[in-house]
Amino acid sequence: MSRRIEQKFAALAKAGRKGLITFVMGGDPNLKTSRKILAALPQAGADIIEIGMPFSDPMADGPTIQAAGLRALSAGATLKAVLALAKEFRTKDDSTPVILMGYYNPVYHYGVEKFCKEASQTVDGVILTDLPPEEEEEFTSVAAKYDLKLVRLAAPTTDDTRFAKLKRHAGGFIYYISVAGITGTKSANMDDLKKRVRHLKAQSTLPVAVGFGIRTPKQAAQIAAFADAVVVGSALVEIIAKDSSGEKTAAFVKSLRRAVDNV
């Protein structure tokens, strides 16, 4: 049974620190570079890594993540290849939690049982952006067999009734989408965001991580003041698109780490 996510948040809380969660698209800009970037993220300061599963119809993603997915697909990335990336990462790092993030269609076509069985060998959780609680049973019933956490998304439009349904099978942490809309296009009002995060924390024992629209170390620090973790995706992916060496990517993650730790 993997307890990496729980152990990570417990260690952060004990140290009085907040988590930094980084999102990268699996296979972007190619599998070789993606492999190198993944390996460098924990050393740069990432507490948890989200690996995107590239998909041809990413309806919740903005232009930056869409472009990353297309680059990955064009370079030969598949769901099987992303699982292999996670497996290779795990051979050198047995402590950093890894979350796969994407859409249900590739998982469904891969085979839910096959996906959960293979993913659970190296991955700690899954975020399925388009899987509503009303239709989650065919996934959660299988994922539970392999102790694969379903990290749930909540949004500004999620009322208490809806959140009660979402958290029923939620595990690992709650990922709060700070703005309504697609990824990487706008930022949230901090006062409203703080109130919403506190409200969610009062309704769940799971940590709350905040993502969507966090583009700078300053914004990361502001959110870390009241959330359990900060998720940075689009801003990181933009750098990866122009950084074949991975050096600028690592430097950016280090700057985020310093900002979050200085809260």
Write down the catalytic residue from 6, 28, 47, 50.
Answer: 50
Write the CA distances from 182 to 15, 66, 138, 218, integer angstroms. 34, 10, 26, 21
Write down the catalytic residue from 28, 61, 124, 238.
Answer: 61
Question: Which residue in 24, 52, 29 sits closest to 39, CA to CA?
Answer: 24
Q: How many CB atoms lie within 10 A of CB 180?
A: 11
Give the 3-state secondary structure of 152-198.
EEECCCCCHHHHHHHHHHEEEEEEEECCCCCCCCCCCCHHHHHHHHH
Active site residue 61: yes
CB 99 within 8 A of CB 127: yes
Active site residue 50: yes
Active site members: 50, 61
